[in-house]
Amino acid sequence: MVQLELIEKLHIFKDFTLDELKKFPEICSVENFQVGESLFLEGEPAEHMWIVIDGNVELRFEMPDARQTTHENALSSHNRDIPESQIFGWSCFTPPYKMKLSAYCTSRRCQVLKVNAKELNHIMEKDTAIGFKIMRYIVQVVGYRFKQMKEEVAKFMGINLMNSW
């Protein structure tokens, strides 16, 4: 179980009442990782929503030829400083409920909050005000990720354009 004070400080929960916040400590856990460690791998069951508490996490696609994934394979970066980048693992809300990317700790150490997706979905179904607040925030996260992807595509296209000169 996680302390309520920790949950209160997270941006996703800023609009929650105290009664709403009290529903979360029992469905959350804190985990710590060291640089280079994977939090989860592409294709694994999406059983948690993840929130960065401290450090940096990159989401990467795995190389099909079994080469180790690197920063060059990163599609997005997550840290506590940018509220929309704190959340990842929202595959837990969409079928087939499998992780679409792998997550790696890229700072000396990182700390994350894992929210049990099954329990979270149950809370959101029972209390639609909570469900709305969570989904409203997730839409902001998806928009932020889309912006990150657009920037990467633009960078890639620019490199290809430069190489064709």
Q: Could you read off the pLDDT of 85-136 as tens digits, one per residue?
A: 688 998 999 999 999 999 999 999 999 999 999 999 999 999 999 999 999 9
As a whole number of angstroms, the distance between CA 101 and CA 40 comes to 8
Number of domains, the chain: 1
Tokens representing residue 94 in the block:
């969409």
So what's the pLDDT on residue 99?
95
**pTM attached to this predicted model:** 0.83
So what's the pLDDT on residue 124?
97
Task: Return mean pLDDT, the chain.
Answer: 86
Residue 31 in contact with residue 79, Cβ under 8 Å?
no
So what's the pLDDT on residue 149?
77
Which residues does 37 contact at the CB level (< 8 Å), separation at least 6?
Answer: 104, 105
So what's the pLDDT on residue 148?
77
The boundaries of the domain holding residue 146 are: 4-163
As a whole number of angstroms, the distance between CA 15 and CA 108 comes to 31
Kindly report the CATH number assigned to the domain that includes residue 66. Answer: 2.60.120.10
Residue 68 CA from chain centroid, whole number: 21
As a whole number of angstroms, the distance between CA 51 and CA 88 comes to 6
